[in-house]
Amino acid sequence: MDKKKNSSPTGFQVLNSAALNKGTAFTVAERKQYKLQGLLPPKVITPDIQLQRVLNNLRRKQDNIEKYIFLTALQTRNERLFYKLLLHHIEEIMPLCYTPTVGQACKEYAHLYRQARGMYITAEDKGNIKTILNNWPHKDIKVIVVTDGERILGLGDLGTNGIGIPIGKLTLYVACAGILPHQCLPIMLDVGTNNVEYLHDDFYLGLTQRRITGDAYHDLVDEFIWGVQAVFPEAMIQFEDFLTPNAYALLNKYRNKVLCFNDDIQGTAGVALAGIYASTRISGLNFKDMKIMFLGAGSAATGIADLLCYALQQEGLTESEARQRLWFVNVEGLVVKGRQGLLPHNKPYMHDHEPLPFIDAINAIKPQVLIGATGVANTFTRDVIVAMAAASARPAIFALSNPTSCAECNAMQAYAWSQGKVIFASGSPFPPVAYNGQKFTPGQGNNVYIFPGIGLGTIISETPVITEDMFLAAARTLADQVSQTELDKGMIYPPLSNIREVSVNIAMAVAEYAYKIKITQSARPEDLEQKIRDYMYDPEY
């Protein structure tokens, strides 16, 4: 029998491969090597000119959704050029390929659909999930981002349209921490949708049935989790945009068994804690003496509180003393003892206090930090900001809800209503604000500062689980990377242009902790930083 020779891709195989394609930047020698002569325009274009061309074409688009579609097409045509564009112009491009544009893109995903991306595991696949996972062509998967689409950003149940979130998050893993693109896998768990609009939309791409719940739901997720362990044993699983009760149930069930975390609970917590740490360098307050109030009591808010409680205990407080620093307000007012209908994750934060509405609660408690994670726009009114400015000389305001349309307030409102006193951060980006002769640069409390570095650290250290101390280390590391110059501008996060260095440092902190407590069986490399940098994906040709 004749043995077939191994052949490298040539011609249109190369041009149609996102990972291999360089387009008009292929050199004369490469065109001969890959049999591309005659298949490309004759002039060899430098990568810099290529980059400028795509940037010019992108900027010609008037609508952000059209820009999102353009970037998606570029990513599937020329992967390295896409990531080079994202890295070189991250403050301009990231809001287009992720928050806030990704929210609208998800709502319209079925109508914008062009090409299959990621995997879909459905309620009809019970008993067959491992076989389906084996259909993915790459086996050395390191990071999986999975959602069931029930609570996409602040937009609610988007069903399979929510696949845009895992796709976008993994784009940021590659760009911001250098995770290799082929080692990333976005997955949609399609368990149905309760969004009536989608159930009657002929363009909708998911199961046209209401969501499965209870044992049927948890059995399906369980089969998925253990299927991943069998097919992709080195993969870290990031749970993304699950409804709060399911988010906590899944995290609590699997966090000590497999390599996983929930970004809405733990990633958001790490970013918020880092922002609070950094804010103390402006306010001069002691972290352990601060009182912090949350508007909203879902998974993001209580996840932040849980990490803050842990961090306060590391400062010497008892658990009871730590919880006394953390106060919640939801639609019914201050969360106090005797309240009915609270979920288990809320109950540790019930205080022995009279019930109060939001503004009255601020006036009574006098918090130095206010964190919004409501998913509801304009809930930080003028009266709220004025009350916070009266409660503290330099109050920190975190309007974390995404996308921009769901932000509790915008940067201009926060600075103007407080007469320039607030330290402000938001989930979506806002431009610098000029107020009363001062220029403020609002911070973006985006999880992108945390989760890419966490993922990179787990890959390098080969840790089998992710601990709370790793998020604490990540938060401290992130806060330490804000310079005095940046603090003087009102910034409590480093500029996004530094995101790869941020991720390297967080990865080092995560890996060092894994080696320190001997949670991993891999040996610490002599030069840990160099090992991290050697692994990272470089999009340059």
Query: What value does the mean pLDDT take over residues 349-363?
Result: 96
Which ranges of 295-436 does DSSP label H, i.e. alpha helix? 299-314, 319-323, 358-365, 382-391, 411-417
pLDDT at 340: 85
The alpha carbon dihedral of 145, 149, 150, 154 has a sign of positive
Q: Which of 351, 352, 362 is nearest to 292 (CA)?
A: 362
Contact 105, 165 (CB under 8 A): no
Q: Is the pLDDT of residue 480 over 70?
A: yes
Measured distance CA(262)–CA(248) in Å, rounded = 9
Task: Count how many Cα atoms sit within 13 Å of the Cα of residue 304 in the half-sphere of its side chain.
Answer: 29
Catalytically active residues are: 98, 169
pLDDT tens, residue by residue, 25-76: 999 999 999 999 999 999 999 999 999 999 999 999 999 999 999 999 999 9
CA atoms within 13 Å, Cβ hemisphere of 141: 28
pLDDT of residue 3: 44
pLDDT, mean of residues 334-339: 93
CB-based contact 373:300 (threshold 8 Å)? yes
Of 234, 238, 243, the C-alpha closest to 261 is 238
Residues 6+ apart with CB under 8 A from 205: 109, 110, 113, 160, 161
Confidence of residue 343 (pLDDT cuts 50, 70, 90): confident
Q: 466 falls in which pLDDT band (50, 70, 90)?
A: very high
* % of the chain at pLDDT higher than 70: 99
What's the CA gap between 56 and 321, in Å, rounded?
56
Sort 349 into a burial class: Cβ within 10 Å, 0-12 / 13-18 / 19+: buried
pLDDT band of residue 1 (cuts 50, 70, 90) is very low
| 274-317 tens-digit pLDDT | 999 999 999 999 999 999 999 999 889 999 999 999 999 999 99
Q: Dump pLDDT digits (tens) for 207-238.
A: 999 999 999 999 999 999 999 999 999 999 99
**Contact call for residues 81 and 54 (beta carbons, < 8 A):** yes
pLDDT of residue 6: 54
CA 204 to chain centre: 25
Domains of the chain plus CATH, in order, are 1-45 (1.20.1370.30), 48-107 (1.20.1370.30), 108-258 (3.40.50.10380), 266-448 (3.40.50.720)
Q: What is the mean pLDDT of the chain?
A: 96
Other Cβ atoms less than 10 A from the Cβ of 27: the count is 11
pLDDT of residue 94: 96
* Nearest CA-CA partner of 404 in 383, 420, 428: 428
Q: What whole-number distance in Å separates Cα of residue 217 and Cα of residue 191? A: 7
Model confidence pLDDT, tens digit, residues 498-538: 999 999 999 999 999 999 999 999 999 999 999 999 999 99
What's residue 4's pLDDT?
46
